[in-house]
């Protein structure tokens, strides 16, 4: 438990500075692109991240979980098979992407170079994912934390330098923003792959045991496929959602440009501020996946119950404090972005959305660690579909408009956190009873012996 909190603290502290850099990055983008440009930038990001999700195949999660469950002598063989899987994934995706970009109008209305820049992300993300998953699995969180920080620092540095010395039209400015994001991912790739190669060389001095390629691939895909499916589903919905929201607002009587600007304030300003403290939730998630996996494999259900209580308490303590600050002092934060008072109003309405997502994120790690990835996927599907129905229905109401959209978003977060919690509670309660029974039988047998 001590190593868990130590690792979480390292990730959280580094992530705090990283989120501060991302906060500054979005400030730079908002001032450079304007509200409409920021709306277009935030609308295209989910589509770009869809390629990232597919390329990663959620290998950071599956590799970290599997490595945490295995003895050290099996690590080298497992990683070799994981790298082969990443190579196959990269080859298939690169070929598919070239065909799609050549024959279909992907990213229509944006600079034509964006599609080819996105192509670079596929090999970068795919191979980095294996290295990231390995360091998560052996709980080398300093490397993960430093990599995350470097990515955000390098992106901000590039943006400031480029926008300081050059002037661009809106279309090119969006291209530059995405280009700096991709460049920062390349820097992380170089750093993590160098560290990964050094660790692989050290493993040559460790006793080696071979794992069957079919076994490793099956284990990794058993986690990766449903988790990737969940991420792809969310990415597709996030890619569609900006257009759904704009269409709903126009039905509610909002002009197209105004709808785009309002979405930019919600996604680029209010969400940036509200999700700033989520670095704690993501730090917990990174630490929880290998920790929960190891404990669940060993049958340490009591440890998992205690861990769940600690996570909920930590989340509620910082979540309620953040909610108080956002409600009463969020206006000063939105002013930093140079937007209207509407952004502050949207921020206040979105407080339940942020709070319940702070809870849902670490709970997802419990589901993954306890082999309940499919449950997490179903929860995501149901909460998202129901939420989008409310977003469209309430957003198209002329009396609610964007306020109705935000109510629909709040419903998603509340429902997702509730579904995650009830599934975890049920699983731990049933397992705990069985564990207690088996422990009693073992103790009784020992006394008789």
pLDDT in tens, the chain (449 residues): 567 778 788 888 888 888 888 888 888 888 888 877 887 887 788 778 878 888 898 888 889 888 888 888 888 888 999 999 999 999 998 998 888 888 877 777 777 788 888 888 899 999 999 999 999 888 888 898 899 899 999 999 999 898 888 888 888 888 888 899 999 999 999 999 999 999 888 888 777 788 888 888 888 888 888 888 887 888 778 778 888 999 999 999 999 889 988 888 898 889 989 998 998 999 899 889 889 988 898 888 888 999 999 999 999 999 999 999 999 999 998 888 876 789 999 999 999 999 999 999 999 999 999 989 889 999 999 999 999 999 999 999 999 999 999 999 999 999 999 999 999 999 887 444 444 434 333 333 333 33
Classify burial at 218, counting beta carbons within 10 Å of its beta carbon; exposed 0-12, middle 13-18, buried 19 or more: exposed
Q: Are 347 and 334 in contact (CB under 8 A)?
A: yes
Q: Are 268 and 41 in contact (CB under 8 A)?
A: yes
CA 301/CA 415 separation, integer angstroms: 26
CA 32/CA 398 separation, integer angstroms: 32
Tokens 């990174």 -> residue: 286
Classify burial at 20, counting beta carbons within 10 Å of its beta carbon; exposed 0-12, middle 13-18, buried 19 or more: middle
Q: Which helix (H) or strand (E) holds 46?
A: helix 2-56
User: Hey, what are 314's tokens?
Assistant: 């930590």
Nearest Cα neighbor of 120 from 176, 51, 59 is 51
pLDDT of residue 312: 94
User: Hey, what are 56's tokens?
Assistant: 């990663």
Tokens 């499919």 -> residue: 374
The stretches of 299-401 forming alpha helices (DSSP H) are: 301-335, 342-349, 351-369, 373-395
CA 67/CA 57 separation, integer angstroms: 16
pLDDT of residue 242: 85
């Amino acid at each position: 438990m001590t190593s868990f909190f130590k690792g979480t603290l390292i990730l959280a502290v580094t992530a705090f500075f990283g989120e501060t850099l991302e906060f500054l990055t979005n400030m730079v983008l908002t001032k450079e692109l304007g509200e409409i440009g920021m709306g277009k930038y935030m609308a295209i990001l989910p589509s770009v991240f869809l390629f990232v999700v597919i390329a990663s195949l959620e290998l950071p999660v599956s590799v970290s979980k599997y490595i945490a469950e295995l003895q050290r002598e099996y690590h080298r063989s497992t990683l070799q098979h994981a790298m082969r899987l990443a190579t196959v994934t990269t080859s298939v995706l690169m070929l598919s992407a070239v065909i799609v970009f050549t024959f279909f109008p992907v990213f229509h209305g944006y600079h034509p170079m964006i599609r080819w820049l996105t192509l670079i992300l596929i090999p970068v993300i795919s191979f980095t994912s294996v290295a990231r998953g390995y360091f998560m699995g052996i709980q080398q969180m300093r490397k993960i934390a430093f990599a995350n920080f470097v990515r955000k620092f390098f992106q901000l540095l590039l943006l400031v330098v480029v926008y300081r010395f050059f002037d661009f039209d809106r279309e090119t400015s969006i291209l530059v923003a995405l280009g700096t994001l991709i460049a920062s991912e390349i820097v992380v790739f170089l750093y993590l792959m160098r560290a990964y190669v050094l660790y692989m060389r050290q493993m040559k001095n460790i006793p080696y045991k071979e794992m069957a390629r079919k076994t490793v691939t099956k284990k990794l895909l058993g986690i990766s496929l449903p988790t990737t499916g969940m991420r792809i589903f969310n990415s597709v919905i996030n890619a569609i959602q900006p257009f759904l929201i704009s269409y709903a607002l126009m039905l509610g009587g909002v002009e197209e440009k105004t709808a785009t600007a309002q979405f930019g304030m919600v996604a680029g300003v209010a969400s940036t501020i509200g999700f700033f403290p989520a670095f704690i939730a993501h730090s917990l998630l990174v630490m929880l996946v290998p920790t929960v996996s190891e404990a669940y494999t060993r049958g340490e259900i009591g440890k998992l119950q205690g861990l769940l209580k600690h996570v909920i308490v930590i989340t509620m303590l910082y979540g309620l404090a953040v909610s108080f600050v956002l409600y009463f002092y969020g206006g000063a934060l939105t002013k930093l972005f140079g937007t209207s008072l509407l952004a502050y109003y949207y921020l206040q309405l979105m407080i339940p959305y942020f709070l319940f997502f702070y809870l849902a994120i670490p709970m997802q790690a419990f589901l993954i660690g306890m082999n309940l990835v499919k449950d997490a996927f179903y929860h995501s599907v149901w909460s998202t579909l129901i939420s989008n129905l409310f977003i469209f229905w309430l957003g198209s109401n002329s009396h609610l408009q964007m306020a109705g959209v935000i109510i629909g978003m709040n419903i998603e977060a509340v429902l997702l956190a509730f579904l995650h919690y009830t599934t975890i509670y049920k699983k731990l309660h049933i397992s705990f009873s069985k564990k207690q029974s088996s422990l009693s039988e073992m103790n009784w047998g020992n006394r008789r012996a």
